[in-house]
Structure 1
Amino acid sequence: MRAGGLISLALSLVLCAGAAAALEYSIIPVARPGSGSPLPTAEFKTAPKAVSSHSPVLRPGSRGVAVVAQAPVQSRRGFASPVPVPRPAGLSRQTSGPAYSQPAVAPVNASARAAALCGVRDIRGQKLGRIPGQIAGCGVTEPVQVTELAGVRLSRPAVVDCTTAKTLRNWVEKDAKPVIGRLGGGLAELQVAASYACRPRNNQPGAKISEHGKGHAVDIAALRLRNGMVLSVQSGWNDPVQGKLLRRLHSSACGPFGTVLGPESDRFHKDHFHFDTARYRSGSYCR
């Protein structure tokens, strides 16, 4: 009896241990204390594992361009979708690298284009019709009437040909402006004494036709500065201050122009500079 009792006791302990293990791993919910009834049994299903595919997936709305689907990446706000976002309508395809926008092209002002003479933007005025000569040797085939050069106005329009207009413009920009510098605020105006005129040289009967009669010459009597100051060839040539500037201006024109005459050349040029574009085999004639 004693042995049988021990065997019964051992079997009871084994059964109790099995029951306890079964209760520990049971998925059946335990009744809430004090509720009086057990909770209903919930049905649990295991979610399928997410399998990342390495097969190409077509981009929505694309023209057959395939991309490789990638596994979602964990971010601070949650999982990012592996499906590419469709390209917005109207967005053109871009190549690799930074995108550069084309610079805006300003429209050309038709009136400004018409005002430019001799193919140079800062020569202003207008074209004229052919000027026939009243006497043999005079006349200009393609004359222009110039009112402004390189931002410097003329006191009155000068009628010359394009070669002379461009030469005068270059002299103003490259020589006259630098010589004047900031004096009086800079160069503002050339006071023109003469341009085209069908006449002999120095108005002397029997002399050769003047370069003025061919549209090749312009006479400058003075230069006006922006503050109103006037550098007069007649009154300033022998002035200790103005004379130095006027002599530098006279000298700088020798080379660009074929002929440069001033107060020391003869009695006909005491009050002005004569510039013309005649060409001589021996070079420029300057006095």
Structure 2
Amino acid sequence: MQSQPLAAPPPLAAPVSIDDLASGQYAPPPQGDPWAGLKQAEPQAAPPPQVAPAPPPVIAPAPQRAVAALEPAPVRPEATVPGRGALEDQTPSGYRAMPRAEAMCRATLRKMGVTFVDVAPIGKGSGCGIAHPVKITAIAEGVAMKPAATLNCASAVRISKWVEDEVKPAARWKMWKRPTAVLNASSYRCSRIAGSRTVSEHASGNALDVRGFQFSDGSLFDVEKKGFFSFRQKSFQSAVRESACRYFGTVLGPGYNHAHRDHLHLDAKNRRRVVCK
């Protein structure tokens, strides 16, 4: 490998004679004023820095909700609202005006657990009829009425209290059983008292003839004169018969006459003296 030639060195300055320096004839070459050409600047305030304008805010578009396309709702005609008092002369079908006492009586029946329905007014003349009758299918909680009895409401309340407060406890302590039904021999009927011209309390739905009871084991109890050795049956029948005299104006049963040999007649007529025979 061949080496490249070196560059020539720079020229040397002109030699200075020592004799010239000793004789004082040497003068250095003149040099220029380094400050020549400069101008004196006046002090000035620095210009304020330029601030770049802020970029406009970027607003993100609101999210779009996907909405299912639905068919337009049908346009219904506006209902005509009757003016005040326009319905006073209109009566709903099946509606029957009822006195406040009758409405409160029905509330009492519901509270006592009686199952009933309102039936059409009964009016046959000759002292027979019920203005606001009820048809009883259960006379107390868990005690049916077989068959259903048509009565006025006040009588139904008395019978229900008697069954709940007297018949149920007597059956439990005397018969060791739970009653499930009252056997109805007669409720409303347009009739007279046997052997007289007086209208019976049955004709106003104010009386019930009880021919017996049914118990939870399916056994039946018939109201009738009991034999000498029927101790429990006699005790139960006497208990319900005597207690009925505290709830009804008239209680007639076996031993009173032949017409009442097989049932208890209970009516709610208010009397000065209770007839209990």
Give TM-score, length-normalised by structure 1: 0.55
Query: Could you tell me which amino acid in structure 1 is paired with residue 245 of structure 2?
Result: C
Contact 1:147 1:156 survives alignment (8 Å): yes
Pick closer, same or farther for the CA change 1:172–1:187 going to 2, 3 Å: same
- Asked if residue 171 in structure 1 is aligned to residue 162 in structure 2, the reply is yes
Q: CA deviation at 1:139?
A: 0.7
Q: Find the aligned partners of 1:207 and 1:148 in 2 and give their Cα distance.
A: 33
Which one of the candidate residues 234, 258, 262 is aligned to 1:267?
258
1:161 aligns with 2:152: yes
- CA drift of 1:247 comes to 0.8
Deviation track 1:258-284 (CA, whole Å, cap 9, x = no partner) reads 1111102111100000000001123x2
Runs of 4+ deviating beyond 6 Å: none
The structural deviation recorded for 1:185 is: 3.7
Q: Which residue of 2 aligns with 1:195?
A: 187
Cα RMSD of the aligned pairs, angstroms, is: 1.9
Unpaired runs of 5+ in structure 2? 1-103
Q: Secondary structure at the match of 2:160?
A: helix
Identity across the alignment (%): 29
- Which structure has the highest helix share of the two? 1
Amino acid at match of 2:256: S
Deviations 1:104-157 (A, max 9, x none): xxxxxxxxxxxx982122110200111002x41111111000000222001101
8 Å CA contact 1:187, 1:224 repeated in 2: yes
| 1:271 counterpart SS class | coil
Change (3 A) 1:262 1:235: closer
Q: Partner of 1:243 in structure 2?
A: 234
| Counterpart amino acid of residue 157 in structure 1 | A
Equivalent residue number for residue 225 of structure 1: 215
> Residues 139-196 of structure 1, C-alpha deviation per residue, up to 9 Å, x if partnerless?
1111000000222001101000001100000001101001111645411111100000
Contact 2:121 2:130 (C-alpha < 8 Å) held by counterparts: yes
SS of the aligned residue for 1:241 comes to helix
Q: Which residue of 1 aligns with 2:139?
A: 149
Contact residue 195 and residue 215 of structure 1 kept, 8 A: yes
| Residue 118 of structure 1, aligned match among 102, 106, 110 | 106
What 5-or-longer segments of structure 1 have no aligned partner?
Answer: 1-115
The alignment partner of 1:201 has SS state of coil
Hey, what's the Cα distance between the residues in 1 that align with 2:132 and 2:240? 29
SS in 2 for 1:118: helix
Match of 1:98 in 2: none
Structure 2 match to 1:210: 200
TM superposition shift of 1:228: 1.4
Q: Tell me if structure 2 keeps the 8 A contact 1:132–1:138.
A: yes
Kindly name which structure, 1 or 2, has the bigger radius of gyration based on alpha carbons.
Answer: 2
The structure-2 alpha-carbon separation of the partners of 1:245 and 1:169, relative to structure 1 and needing over 3 Å to count, comes to same
SS across alignment from 2:159: helix
TM-score (norm 2): 0.57
